[in-house]
């Protein structure tokens, strides 16, 4: 199925929403792209950069006449957006989101969208950088990257196919997944790594009164902690909104870390080497 849209509205024109707009422009698949957000200067910048054609500050006005609506706001702002867009939503419009946790978004959509739930296709692009804002957006962000869609039993198959075609037009590979399974997988592969990166930098910052630690930080430190430069508010929301799955995988990690701590304390060379070998083999296989 090819994708085209006469008017696509993106609510939240940052890295993710802005990159989607750029990718769809590259494919010449949208007649008009309308942006919406709380910061008029930010939206005007998006117009100047050619990311969107025009913008509205009012959500109902922004979605008026749109056949596709993409909600790209922080998780804790989703429910307010859902409420406000209902007043202007076209009868044939499809709604999708880009939230990194799906259970909380689906719960809010069920509470607000009513009989328009059939038009909602929950989604999550597995792409991004540690940078944020429309200035950081680029058309190639989704090329060869994955997008997970978690349709509900109420979701229209036609609407699902439309959103799938949109992401494929943007260069992504689409996978379908159940909501709870998505949240469990992403807690382990995305949310936990961000928690660890933030925690490590925070620990070192509290130890480093003279900045000596950071003066001698090597490439490994930069590689491991790069994602600690991500938007703190966004990641706070993700961790708290997906807290059950995050706590489960965090407990598992803490158990493994305590075992490694004991092996180092006990000078257990074989145990330490076993952990390192298994980790290296697993990552080499993943990267390969």
CATH number (domain holding residue 209):
1.10.3660.10
Query: N- to C-terminal Cα distance for the chain?
Result: 32
Q: How far is the C-alpha of 8 from the C-alpha of 10, rounded, in Å?
A: 7
User: Which domain-ending residue is among 177, 193, 214?
Assistant: 177
Same domain membership, residue 62 and residue 42: yes
Q: How far is the C-alpha of 171 from the C-alpha of 23, rounded, in Å?
A: 8
In tens, the pLDDT along 134-189 reads 999 999 999 999 999 999 999 999 999 999 999 999 999 999 999 999 999 999 99
What does the pLDDT average to over 240-254?
97
Question: Where in the sequence is the domain holding 226, given as residue range(s)?
Answer: 181-287
Same domain membership, residue 119 and residue 169: yes
In total, the chain counts a number of residues equal to 288
Same domain membership, residue 281 and residue 198: yes
Same domain membership, residue 194 and residue 92: no
Coil, strand, or helix at residue 240? helix
- Residue 206: the pLDDT is 85
What does the pLDDT average to over 243-267?
97
Same domain membership, residue 162 and residue 207: no
Model confidence at 101: pLDDT above 70: yes
CB 170 within 8 A of CB 27: yes
- Residue 95: the pLDDT is 98
Neighbouring C-beta atoms of residue 117, cutoff 10 Å: 17
Same domain membership, residue 150 and residue 11: yes
Same domain membership, residue 188 and residue 73: no
Model confidence at 264: pLDDT above 90: yes
What residues are paired with 9 via a beta bridge? 34, 69
User: Which domain-ending residue is among 177, 206, 232?
Assistant: 177
Same domain membership, residue 117 and residue 11: yes
- Residue 211: the pLDDT is 67
Model confidence at 265: pLDDT above 90: yes
**CB-side neighbour CA atoms (13 Å) of 84:** 16
In angstroms and rounded to an integer, the radius of gyration of the C-alpha atoms of the chain is 21
In tens, the pLDDT along 10-38 reads 999 999 999 999 999 998 999 999 999 99
Same domain membership, residue 167 and residue 207: no
Coil, strand, or helix at residue 146? strand
By percentage, how much of the chain surpasses pLDDT 70?
Answer: 99
CA 60, distance to chain mean position in Å, is 24
What does the pLDDT average to over 207-233?
82
Same domain membership, residue 98 and residue 21: yes
Same domain membership, residue 133 and residue 90: yes
pTM: 0.90
CB 8 within 8 A of CB 169: no
Torsion angles phi and psi, residue 172, rounded to 5: -90, 165
- Residue 165: the pLDDT is 97
Question: How many domains, the chain?
Answer: 2
In tens, the pLDDT along 81-94 reads 999 999 999 999 99
- Residue 236: the pLDDT is 94
User: Which domain-ending residue is among 177, 199, 218?
Assistant: 177
CATH number (domain holding residue 139):
3.40.50.720
Same domain membership, residue 171 and residue 48: yes
């Amino acid at each position: 199925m090819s994708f085209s849209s006469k008017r696509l509205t993106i609510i939240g024109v940052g890295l993710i929403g802005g990159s989607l707009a750029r990718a769809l422009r590259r494919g010449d698949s949208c007649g008009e792209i309308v942006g919406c957000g709380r910061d008029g200067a930010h939206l005007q910048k998006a117009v100047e950069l050619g990311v969107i054609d025009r913008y509205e500050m009012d959500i109902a006005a922004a979605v008026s006449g749109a056949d596709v609506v993409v909600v790209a706001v922080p998780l804790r702002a989703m429910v307010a957006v859902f409420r406000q867009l209902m007043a202007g939503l076209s009868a044939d419009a499809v709604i999708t989101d880009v939230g990194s946790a799906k259970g909380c978004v689906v719960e809010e959509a069920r509470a607000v969208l009513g009989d328009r739930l059939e038009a909602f296709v929950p989604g999550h692009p597995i792409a991004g950088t540690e940078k944020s804002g429309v200035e950081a957006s680029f058309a190639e962000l989704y090329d060869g990257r994955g997008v997970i869609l978690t349709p509900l039993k109420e979701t229209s198959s036609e609407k699902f196919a439309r959103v799938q075609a949109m992401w494929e037009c943007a260069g992504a590979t689409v996978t379908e997944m159940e909501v709870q399974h998505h949240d469990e997988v992403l807690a382990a592969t995305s949310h936990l790594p961000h928690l660890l990166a933030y925690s490590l930098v925070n620990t070192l910052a509290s130890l480093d009164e003279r900045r000596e630690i950071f003066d001698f930080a090597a490439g490994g430190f930069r590689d491991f902690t790069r994602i600690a430069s991500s938007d703190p508010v966004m990641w706070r929301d993700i961790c708290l909104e997906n807290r059950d799955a995050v706590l489960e995988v965090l407990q598992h990690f803490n158990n493994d870390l305590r075992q490694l701590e004991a092996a180092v304390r006990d000078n257990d060379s074989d145990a330490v080497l076993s952990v390192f070998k298994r980790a290296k083999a697993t990552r080499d296989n993943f990267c390969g």
